[in-house]
Structure 1
Amino acid sequence: MSAPLPLPDRPLAEHLASLRAEVARARETRGPALAFDVATIDDRLADHGLDGAGLHEVAAATASLNDDAAATLFAAGIAARFASKRGLTILWALSKFDLYAPCLEQVGLGPDRILYAQGTKDAQVLAMAEDGLRDGSLACVIAEVKAADMTATRRLQLAASDGKTPILLYRRHRTRERCPLDTLSAAMTRWRIGCAESARLPHPGIGRPRWSVELVRQRAGNPFTLELEACDEQGRLALPAAAADRTTARRRAVAQAA
C-alpha cells in the first residue's frame, strides 16, 4: 500500500497563487502590441506596432560609437514604453556592462525599471533572456549578443510567445563591417539605426538628435526607411517638424477632396 501524498503547504500554495495572479495582471496591462504613435511608422507595420509577444532585432547602421549609441537608445526607448505602466520592469542581459545610466534615463528608462543580468558569453546571455521571457512578469527583455543563429532566435521567439513578453535582441558587434542583420533570423521585425544630421537652429546650438530608422524586414509587411527625431524623455520618436507639417497638409487635402 503506497503512502499517502503529503498535503501541500497552504501558505506556499497561497503565495504561488498570488504570484500567478501578478503575472496575469502584468500580461493584461502590457497589451498585445506597442504602437509608436507616429502614423507614418504605425501605418507601415503589419501589426500597427511592435508585437508584445515577439522577437524584434536591432543593429547599428555602422560600427561607429555614434550609431551604437543611437541603436542602444532606440531599444531603450521602446523598452521604456513597454514598461510605462507602474510597477513594470525590464531585464537587460549583456556580457559587457558599458551602459550609461543618465542617457537611458533621458529616454524614459530610469534605474528603478531595469534589472541587469551579466554573463560571460552569448550562450549565457541568451539563456538568461529566455528565462526572463518565460517568467512572464517582465515588461520587456533586452539582450545584447555578438551572434545568434536561427536556432537561438527561434527559441527566443517561442519563449516570447509563451511568456507573452517582447524581446529586443541587440545584435551589437560586427565582423569585417558585415551587418549582423544579414544572417537568417526568426525575428518579427529587424531594425537598423544610424545617426542623421540634427535640425538647424536659428541660433548657435544643437537641435534635437535625428536618426535614420530602417526597418530591414518584417513579417507580412514591407521594409522602409525614415528619418526621425530621436527618443524624448518618454521614449517616443517623432517626425521632423517639416515632415510632420507636410503629412498634416496632405491629410487635410485628402479630407477636403473626399
Structure 2
Amino acid sequence: MRQAERERQLAALRERIGGLAPEGAGRPVLPFGVAALDEHLPGGGLRLGAVHEVLAAGPVDGEGALAALFAAAILARLSGPVLWCLASRDLFAPGLAAVGLHPDRVLYAETRREAEILPTMEEGLRHRGLAGVVGEVARLGLTPSRRLQLAAEGSRGLALVIRRWGAAIPEPNAAATRWSVTAAPSPVLPVPGLSRARWTVALVRARGAEPRTWLLEAPDAKGHLRVPADLADRPLAAPERRAVAG
C-alpha cells in the first residue's frame, strides 16, 4: 500500500475515533464572542495549544487577504507577540491594525522559500513567550501538521496555517479545525455611506462538530466578529451543512 494512501486511511480513522468524545474537553479555548459560533464549537471556542487551518477559498486574490485578517483578528484577542511566517512580505500592516493586531506585536519571519515556513513555525511554537504563530503555505500535509500540533501542545501556543494558493486541494492533516472566509454582500444603507463589511465564515471541518456556515460582520478594531444587527433578531434558520473535506 502506498504511503500516501495509508496516511489518508489513518487520518480518517483518527477522525472517527476523535468524534467519540468532545474534542478539546478540559483544554483552554479562545471564544469568538459570537454565541452561535462558540456554542457550536467543542469547548466553547477555538482550542489553544492546537493547529487550525484557514483556507483562502475564494476565486480571487482578495480572499487571501480575508484569510489573513481572520487569523489576525483571532490573535488580536490574545496577549503577547505574534510570529508571522511567509515566503515574501506582502502583508498590509494597517489592515492588521484595523482588526486589532497592532504591527508592533508582529515579528516577521521571511523565509523566501515556502518549504521553510512550516519548520520555522514549529520552531516558533517551542517558545512560550509567543501568543501564536501564523504561516502562509499552499499545502499542509499530515506529517508536518502533526509536528506542528506536538509543538503547539507543548507550549500551549496557537498555530494558524493560512493556505492561500492550494486551498482547493483537500488533504488530511492534524489541524483541529478548518475554516474558510469569503466576502459577502453588504446591506443597502438608507443614506450614502460605508457599511461594515460582511463575511461568510464557514467551519469546513472540526473534530466533534458538524460543518456549518455563518454570515458575520468583519472584525472590529479589537478583533471581534459580530452577527449583523438586521439578522440578530430573526428566527433561527436550519443550519447550512457542508460536506466534510479531507
TM-score range relative to shorter protein: 0.7 to 0.9
Aligned length: 210
Q: CA RMSD in A?
A: 1.5
CA distance in 2, matches of 1:66, 1:121: 22
Paired residue secondary structure (1:246): coil
After superposition, give the CA deviation of every residue in 1:132-191 in whole Å (9 maximum; x if it has no partner). 1111210011111121211011111111001110100001113xxx614x1111100000
Shift of 1:125: 1.0
Shift of 1:48: 0.7
CA distance in 1, matches of 2:171, 2:194: 37
Match of 1:119 among 108, 111, 130: 111
Which structure 1 segments of 5+ residues have no match?
A: 1-30, 249-258
After superposition, give the CA deviation of every residue in 1:115-140 in whole Å (9 maximum; x if it has no partner). 11011222311111101111121001
Aligned amino acid, residue 97 of structure 1? R
The 10-residue stretch of structure 1 (119-128 or 52-61) with the greater mean CA deviation from structure 2? 119-128
Query: How do 1:1-258 and structure 2 match up within 5 A?
Result: 32-83=28-79, 88-174=80-166, 179-180=168-169, 182-246=170-234
After superposition, give the CA deviation of every residue in 1:59-90 in whole Å (9 maximum; x if it has no partner). 1221312322211111110011123xxxx111
Aligned amino acid, residue 100 of structure 2? G
Aligned amino acid, residue 91 of structure 1? L
Q: Is the 8 A contact 1:107 1:235 kept in 2?
A: yes
- Greater C-alpha radius of gyration: 1
CA distance in 2, matches of 1:212, 1:187: 21
User: Match of 1:252?
Assistant: none
CA distance in 1, matches of 2:56, 2:130: 25
Higher helix share goes to which structure? 1
Aligned amino acid, residue 177 of structure 2? T
The 10-residue stretch of structure 1 (145-154 or 239-248) with the greater mean CA deviation from structure 2? 239-248
Shift of 1:247: 6.3
Give identity over the alignment, percent: 45
Aligned amino acid, residue 108 of structure 1? G
CA distance in 2, matches of 1:120, 1:146: 14
Paired residue secondary structure (1:82): coil
The verdict on how the C-alpha distance between 1:247 and 1:113 changes in structure 2, with shifts beyond 3 A counting, is: farther
CA distance in 2, matches of 1:77, 1:156: 21
Aligned amino acid, residue 157 of structure 1? Q
Q: Structure 2 length as normaliser, TM-score? A: 0.82
CA distance in 2, matches of 1:217, 1:188: 8
The 10-residue stretch of structure 1 (62-71 or 226-235) with the greater mean CA deviation from structure 2? 62-71
Aligned amino acid, residue 179 of structure 2? W
CA distance in 2, matches of 1:247, 1:77: 28
Q: Structure 1 length as normaliser, TM-score? A: 0.78
Shift of 1:237: 0.3
